[in-house]
Amino acid sequence: MGNNQKTVVIFNSPPNSGKDVAVQYLRGYFCTGEVLAFKDELYLDTARHFDVDVEDLVAYHSDRDLKELPNTMFPKYQSESLKQYFFSLLYIIGLLINNRHLMSLGYYSSREALIHVSESVVKPLKGKDYYGKKLVEKIEGSSERFYFVSDGGMKEELSSVADKGYNVIIAQLMRSGATFDGDSRSLLN
């Protein structure tokens, strides 16, 4: 199938605006297609970086309440260091007194961990379009005609997809209270 016969619908909307529900709905509505995400490869990179099981990371990050809380799975410093040990004690104190600030001094939330790995670890070495190229590899390796992508928000990643000659549709959802605050993605023009 030629690239111009493949259609890629990319949602570019803030967190908690309904993107995941929308891609599943479209997949069901058309009874065909593949649901993809730029972050699929990022999950693998983050799991490797923090030496955690990728299924645990995905499960934790899929929980709306948990993904915003600092977690000991994602230390900010080398895990065996005295500095990290000190921040581990602060984490426990913060947990006991329900103080998120103390908890976050030495640990990332899963959202922050994904952003850290993407922006500070992977992209400086592999380029800003790395996750776009990885998504294109998945599309090229598939015989589907439709692709529904839930997490567009980086111009360079979207350009990697658009430059392949696919029919690209950028869908933007709005939801009251949903913003890009604290996210590395943004609304694209």
* pLDDT tens figures, 30-49: 999 999 999 899 999 999 99
Q: Hey, what amino acid is at 141?
A: G
Q: Please provide the distance, in angstroms rounded to a whole number, between the alpha carbons at the two ends of the chain.
A: 29
* pLDDT tens figures, 80-94: 767 666 667 766 777
pLDDT surpassing 80 at residue 98: no
pLDDT at 176: 77
Determine the number of helices (DSSP H) and then strands (DSSP E) in the chain: 9, 6
Average pLDDT over residues 153-159: 82
**What is the band of 51 on the pLDDT scale with cuts at 50, 70, 90?**
very high
| SS3 state of residue 153 | coil
Helix (H) or strand (E) holding 134: helix 130-140
Question: Looking at the whole model, is its pTM more than 0.95?
Answer: no
pLDDT surpassing 90 at residue 124: yes
